[in-house]
Amino acid sequence: MNRYIINGGKPLHGEVVIGGAKNAALGIIAGAILTDEPVTIENLPDVSDINVLLDAIRGIGATVERIDAHKAVICGKTINSVVVNSEVIQKIRASYYLLGALVGKKGKAQVAMPGGCEIGARPIDQHLKGLRALGVKCDENDAENCIYASVTNLHGSGIFLDVASVGATINIMLAAVLAKGTTTIENAAKEPHIVDVANFLNSMGARIKGAGTDVIRIFGVESLKGTEYTVIPDQIEAGTFMCAVAAAKGDVTLKNVIPRHLEAISSKLEEIGVTVTESEDGTEVRVVSDVNARLGASTVRTRVYPGFPTDMQPQITVVLMLGDGDSTVYETIFENRFRYVDELVKMGAEIKVKNNETAKIHGVEAVHGTHIDVPDLRAGAALTIAALAADGQTVMDWIDYIERGYEDFDGKLRGIGADIVKETVNDIEEA
Ligand code: UD1
pLDDT for 92:
83
pLDDT for 431:
41
**pLDDT confidence of 94, banded at 50, 70, 90?**
confident
Please, what is the average pLDDT of the chain?
95
pLDDT for 123:
86
Write down the CATH number for the domain with range 2-16+233-430.
Answer: 3.65.10.10
Ligand 1 within 6 A of CB of 122: yes
Ligand 1 within 6 A of CB of 235: no
Pocket test for ligand 1, best of 165, 187, 190, 265 (most atoms within 8 A of CB): 165
Share of the chain above pLDDT 70, in %: 97
Mean pLDDT score, 10-32: 98
Q: Ligand 1 centre and the CA of 126: distance in Å?
A: 10
Do β-strands 108-112 and 83-84 pair in parallel, antiparallel, or remain unpaired? parallel
In angstroms, the CA 123 to CA 114 distance is: 9
Q: Please, which residues have CB within 8 angstroms of residue 87's CB and are 6 or more apart in sequence?
A: none
In angstroms, the CA 145 to CA 66 distance is: 30
Taking alpha carbons only, the member of 174, 25, 1 closest to residue 92 is 25
Ligand 1 within 6 A of CB of 420: no
Ligand 1 within 6 A of CB of 306: no
pLDDT for 426:
78
In angstroms, the CA 356 to CA 359 distance is: 8
pLDDT for 430:
45
pLDDT for 117:
67
Residue minimizing CA distance to atom 22 of ligand 1: 123
- Evaluate if residue 91 carries a pLDDT over 80: no
Taking alpha carbons only, the member of 1, 2, 5 closest to residue 371 is 5
Check whether the bond before 306 is cis (ω within 30° of 0). Answer: yes
Residue minimizing CA distance to atom 5 of ligand 1: 166
In angstroms, the CA 269 to CA 161 distance is: 32
pLDDT for 207:
98
pLDDT tens-digit profile of 173-231? 999 999 999 999 999 999 999 999 999 999 999 999 999 999 999 999 999 999 999 99
**pLDDT confidence of 93, banded at 50, 70, 90?**
confident
Ranges of each domain in the chain: 2-16+233-430, 82-222
**Comparison of pLDDT for 427 and 104, the residue scoring more:** 104
**pLDDT confidence of 401, banded at 50, 70, 90?**
very high
Q: Ligand 1 centre and the CA of 24: distance in Å?
A: 13
Do β-strands 419-424 and 63-68 pair in parallel, antiparallel, or remain unpaired? unpaired
Residue 363 host element (H or E): none
Residue minimizing CA distance to atom 4 of ligand 1: 311
pLDDT tens-digit profile of 127-177? 999 999 999 999 988 878 889 999 999 999 999 999 999 999 999 999 999
Residues with a catalytic annotation lie at 117
pLDDT for 429:
54
pLDDT for 380:
98
Ligand 1 within 6 A of CB of 94: yes
- Could you tell me if 110 and 141 are in contact, meaning their C-beta atoms sit under 8 angstroms apart? no
Q: Is 33 exposed, middle or buried (0-12, 13-18, 19+ CB in 10 A)?
A: buried
Q: Which CATH superfamily, name and number, covers 82-222?
A: Enolpyruvate transferase domain (3.65.10.10)
The number of the ligand 1 atom at minimal distance from the alpha carbon of 126 is 23
Mean pLDDT score, 242-262: 98
Q: Name the phi and psi angles at 206, rounded to 5.
A: -70, 165
Residue 50 host element (H or E): helix 48-59
- Evaluate if residue 116 carries a pLDDT over 70: no
Ligand 1 within 6 A of CB of 120: yes
pLDDT for 120:
66
In angstroms, the CA 107 to CA 152 distance is: 7
Could you tell me the sign of the dihedral formed by the alpha carbons of 395, 389, 317, 352, in that order?
positive
Ligand 1 within 6 A of CB of 124: yes
Residue minimizing CA distance to atom 39 of ligand 1: 167
In angstroms, the CA 175 to CA 406 distance is: 29
Mean pLDDT score, 289-296: 97
Fold agreement (2-16+233-430, 82-222): yes
Q: Is 392 exposed, middle or buried (0-12, 13-18, 19+ CB in 10 A)?
A: middle
The number of the ligand 1 atom at minimal distance from the alpha carbon of 377 is 11
In angstroms, the CA 323 to CA 95 distance is: 39
Residue minimizing CA distance to atom 13 of ligand 1: 166
**pLDDT confidence of 273, banded at 50, 70, 90?**
very high
Ligand 1 within 6 A of CB of 196: no
Residue minimizing CA distance to atom 29 of ligand 1: 165
**Comparison of pLDDT for 118 and 3, the residue scoring more:** 3
Pocket test for ligand 1, best of 333, 356, 406 (most atoms within 8 A of CB): 333
> What's the Rg (C-alpha) of the chain?
22
